[in-house]
Amino acid sequence: MRAAIIDLGTNTFNLLVCDPSQGLQVVHSEEVAVFLGRGGIEKGILADDAMERGMAVLARFADTARAHGAGRIIGFGTSALRNARNAHVLVERARSELGIGISVIPGNEEASLILEGVRQAVPFGPKPMLVMDIGGGSIEFILATDKALMWKRSFEIGATRLRERFVASDPMTIEEQFRLAAYLDAQLEPLFAVMERHWPTTLIGSAGSFDTLAEMAATARGEDLGDALTLAIRDEEFDAIRTSLLGMPRVERLRIPGLPEYRADTIQPALIAMERVMLHGIEEIRWSRYALKEGAAMRYRSP
């Protein structure tokens, strides 16, 4: 039986329709900018207009999923929903009005599902690799090998939160960049301690800002990602993109091939977050097309 998975992120909702009876057979996949956290993420609520945007996209996804033969639709709420006092309103409306059951999952569960998805796209080896998933509300980190999950943690420091707390200028000032970097260094001390013990040299980036980074890197090479599940991004490519975008006003960022408008505001703090992690021994970035929704599809596949 075909199933539909909806990842209700802080910035975007992601739909995956699949036939999980034979592994991960993707029938349909799409992403829509919703900005569920806009106007309320730092207040611990879902704003009324954000909730209505969310419901409209969920209704559209439900129609699309059923048109593709999905017999069940499962939603997973992440940072914006797990931190909003009125999240139950959206969850109940989705159930009663659209027949969509939404599970609001804790950060560690989100990290586990991300790893399951990433494993379908990127081969792991015996040496530990670090997975980083940057969302609007949270960032998940997972340290794993081909045999084991070694460590995982979710930090509520996603790109939207970082932007609302630290970015007031366009483009970011050097002072804002330094303040944001110092904040991330303090928040990520537990991660850095783990990295110093195990020394992963490969960073696997999934979803959100890493999708954009991969698109920009491929476009700069004159390549098309097509149906590729992974892409190696060289240090010099990352440095060129980061340096260029951090000093670029929004109107110019909107002209960058591979950078969608709905990520134009969050890509700068996301790139700083990537940089802070890379400074701790990372030698290579690999992008993963698969993330939470693919992991959920594998875990909750039909018998």
Residue 71 is assigned to a structural domain of this protein: yes
- Judge whether residue 229 has pLDDT over 70: yes
Average pLDDT over residues 94-118: 97
> Residue 207 in contact with residue 159, Cβ under 8 Å?
no
Is residue 86 located within the same domain as residue 184?
no
pLDDT at position 19, please?
Answer: 87
For the chain, the helix, strand and coil percentages under 3-state DSSP, each to the nearest 5: 45, 25, 30
pLDDT at position 60, please?
Answer: 98
Is residue 173 located within the same domain as residue 252?
yes
H or E element, residue 268: helix 267-278
| Overall number of domains in the chain | 2
> Residue 134 in contact with residue 97, Cβ under 8 Å?
no
- Judge whether residue 20 has pLDDT over 80: no
Residue 299 is assigned to a structural domain of this protein: no
pLDDT band at 302; cut points 50, 70, 90: very low
- Looking at every residue in the chain, the average pLDDT score rounds to 95
Question: CATH no. for residue 272?
Answer: 3.30.420.150
Domain span at residue 80 reads: 2-105
Average pLDDT over residues 256-270: 94
DSSP state of 9: -
Is residue 131 located within the same domain as residue 224?
yes
Residues 294 and 17: their CA atoms lie apart, in Å, by: 10
Residue 213 is assigned to a structural domain of this protein: yes
> Residue 30 in contact with residue 14, Cβ under 8 Å?
yes
Residue 57 β-bridge partners: none
Q: How large a percentage of the chain has pLDDT more than 90? A: 93
- Judge whether residue 127 has pLDDT over 80: yes
- Judge whether residue 303 has pLDDT over 50: no
Average pLDDT over residues 163-184: 96
The encoded tokens of residue 251 equal: 């109107």
pLDDT at position 21, please?
Answer: 74
- Judge whether residue 301 has pLDDT over 70: no
Q: Mind listing the pLDDT tens digit for each residue in 34-72? A: 999 999 999 999 999 999 999 999 999 999 999 999 999
- Residue that is written with structure tokens 């599902």 in the block: 113
Is residue 52 located within the same domain as residue 129?
no
> Residue 288 in contact with residue 122, Cβ under 8 Å?
yes
Residue 162 is assigned to a structural domain of this protein: yes
The encoded tokens of residue 62 equal: 């439900």
Question: CATH no. for residue 12?
Answer: 3.30.420.40
169 class by beta-carbon count within 10 Å (0-12 exposed, 13-18 middle, 19+ buried)? exposed
Residues 46 and 203: their CA atoms lie apart, in Å, by: 32
pLDDT at position 13, please?
Answer: 98
Q: How large a percentage of the chain has pLDDT more than 70? A: 99
Average pLDDT over residues 82-96: 98
Q: Mind listing the pLDDT tens digit for each residue in 128-153? A: 999 999 999 999 999 999 999 999 99
pLDDT at position 23, please?
Answer: 73
